[in-house]
Chains A and B, each alone.
Chain A
Amino acid sequence: MNAKNNNVDQLIEQYKTLPGGLLPLLHAIKHALGYIPESTLGSIAKGFNLSRAEVHGVISFYHDFNTQPVGHHRVQICRAEACQSMGSRQIESHAKQSLGIEYGETTSDGMVTLEPVYCLGNCACSPSIRINDDIYARVDKSRFDQLISELNMPELDKVETSS
Chain B
Amino acid sequence: MATRSDQVPFLFRPVRGGRLLKHLLLIGFGLIMLYPLLWMISSSVKPEDIIFREPGLWPSTVTLDNYSEGWTALKHSFGYYLWNSAVITGLSVLANLIACSLAAYAFARLNFPLKKMWFAIMLGTIMLPYHVTVVPQYIVFANLDWINTIWPLVVPKFLATDAFFIFLMVQFIRTLPRELDEAAAIDGAGYWRVFLQVILPLCMPALATTGIFTFIWTWNDFFSQNLYLTNSDNLTVAVALRQFLDSSGESSWGPMFAMSIVSLGPIFGFFLAGQKYLIRGVATTGLK
Pair from one complex:
no
Q: Which residues of A contact B (CB under 8 A)?
A: none
Q: Which residues of B contact A (CB under 8 A)?
A: none
